[in-house]
Amino acid sequence: MAADTTVYKEIDGKGGDYFSLVGWLGLMIAAGLASVYYMEHHGHIVTGMTNAVVWGTPHVFAVFLIVAASGALNIASISSVFGKYHYKPLARLSAVTAIALLAGGLMVLVLDLGRPDRLIVAMTKYNFKSIFAWNIYLYTGFFVIVLAYLWMMMERRMVPHSKKAGLLAFVWRLALTTGTGSIFGFLVARPGYDAAIMAPMFIAMSFSFGLAFFIILVSVTYRASGRPLGDLILFKMRNLLGIFIAAALYFTVAQHLTNLYAAEHAGIEAFILMDGGIYTFLFWVVQIGLGSLFPLALLFNPATGRRCQGIIVASLLVIIGGLAQIYVIIIGGQAFPMPIFPGMEVSSSFFDGVVHSYAPSLPEVVLGLSGVATTLLIIAVAIKYLPLLPTSLSDAKVDPHHAPKD
């Protein structure tokens, strides 16, 4: 591996643009906290969530951000663990992005609790059979390990050890996403979940969503700070994103094919794939079409895939498709009636046997968006005060031996 001659430097962050960005993000976070106060004061009656759809829009955002967090760490893992030195200059930003995404996601998750004032209970009382309880350790451990990893990358004396920390972080992020997927995989009673494939599917999703977020972040930051960003690193990330989109798609296909084969799951499959209304639309049009196939076409079509804008648009679509996918998994999985008496027609005052309706309410959406704002604010502050970003990502800097043209 070539010695790291990259020069890292804080962004200036003195212009009006930077401060207006920080101001807007702060405002969104404030709006999110106001939503939380509103939801806690009145109770969850003011949300779209019900006794049937118990997890709503906040959980969609939270799970997306948490899943993307582990994916965003990939750039660092690829450089430290798999020795791909091209990615090395972005490893620091990758670690910070991972921390920021996780913090944003957890904030949303925690603030949606029925009793967020009892957060201390969640920290002191554990049921170790619960995947949720394991996740509390996986999440806090992720913060600690990635922070240590970041420090080792940035502290010259520790650089030789950073590879080991990178390996630990990589293993931990796989465990973390396994844990997040298993939140759903372990739900034995609901036909929309209850599948071991949830864990690897969430890992593939995390690769894809995290990298898409990271590509946009790097492109926008480099343009805004006026630093050179060469095609080499961008195209490498483009190719990687293509592979990750395909991987996530593969698991989705495997999940539904397996379900389609079992007559027992015909109901949930018909619901998601054919007559689920919004969920069917979100699945085929947004997740598969706009969020997977179209970005793949954009990335690998020379006309768009060789342009920064094309890659950014593809990444944005991956994020939108990712949110749709998580929406279909979380909300769609609950909207489908619980099979209390399989094969029977069921009705009751508690809406047994009918598709449950759910409409996101404004406070929920604002809370979810404030999690995204928290992520962005953490990154904005971190790159201003820490030397995270290389002064140049031009092709010559990224790879001194590189021949012109991709």
Partner 1 sequence: MTDKSMTKVDTSRRNILKGGAAAAVITLAPGVTLRTVEAAVTGPATNAKRWGMLIDANAPSDVWDIAVEACKAEQGWGKDEAHANPTTDPQWIRKVNVKDPKTGAKASLPVMCQHCANPPCVDVCPTGASMKRADGIVLVDKHICIGCRYCMMACPYSCRSFVHEDVHGQRPHMPRGKGTVEACTLCVHRVDKGQQPACVEAISNMGSDAMIFGDLNDPTSEIARAVSKYVTQRIRSDLGVEPGIHYRGI
Partner 2 sequence: MRSTSRILSLTILGFAILAFTIGSSIFAAPAQAGEVPMPSPAKAFKGEQCLEPTDVMRRDHMDFLKHQRDETLREGIRGQKYSLNSCIDCHAVTSPDVAGGQVRTLKPFCAQCHAYAAVSIDCFQCHNGAYQPGIGDQSALPADHQAQAMIAALEKQLAKGADK
Footprint of partner 2 (CB under 8 A) = 29, 33, 36-37, 40, 103, 107, 110-111, 116-117, 119, 147, 150-151, 154-155, 374, 378, 381-382, 385-387
Of positions 4, 40, 399, 406, contacts partner 1 by CB under 8 A? 40
Structure tokens of 326? 């998580």
Report the residue number, 31 or 346, with the smaller CB distance to partner 2.
Answer: 31
Residues 6+ apart with CB under 8 A from 389: 8, 9, 10, 11, 92, 93, 221, 222, 225, 227, 383
* φ/ψ (deg, to 5) at 114: -65, -35
CA pair distance 259, 195, nearest whole angstrom: 10
Residues 6+ apart with CB under 8 A from 350: 51, 52
Report the residue number, 111 or 183, with the smaller CB distance to partner 2.
Answer: 111
For residue 154, the minimal CB distance to partner 2 (Å) is: 4
Report the residue number, 33 or 320, with the smaller CB distance to partner 2.
Answer: 33
Report the residue number, 115 or 405, with the smaller CB distance to partner 2.
Answer: 115
How many residues make up the chain in this entry? Answer: 406
Of positions 186, 235, 284, 294, contacts partner 1 by CB under 8 A? 186
The reply to whether 263 sits near partner 1 by the rule CB under 8 A is no
CA pair distance 342, 88, nearest whole angstrom: 54
The reply to whether 341 sits near partner 1 by the rule CB under 8 A is yes
The reply to whether 57 sits near partner 1 by the rule CB under 8 A is no
CA pair distance 2, 88, nearest whole angstrom: 10
CA pair distance 368, 147, nearest whole angstrom: 25
The reply to whether 44 sits near partner 1 by the rule CB under 8 A is yes
Of positions 19, 24, 82, 126, contacts partner 1 by CB under 8 A? 126
Pseudo-torsion of CA 89, 93, 95, 100, nearest 10°?
Answer: -170
The reply to whether 362 sits near partner 1 by the rule CB under 8 A is no
Of the CA atoms within 13 Å of residue 9, those in its CB half-sphere come to 12
The reply to whether 302 sits near partner 1 by the rule CB under 8 A is no
For residue 113, the minimal CB distance to partner 1 (Å) is: 5
The reply to whether 121 sits near partner 1 by the rule CB under 8 A is yes
Residues that bind partner 1 (CB under 8 A): 40, 42-45, 50-52, 54-55, 113-116, 118-119, 121-122, 125-127, 129-133, 136, 183, 186-190, 334, 338-352, 356-357
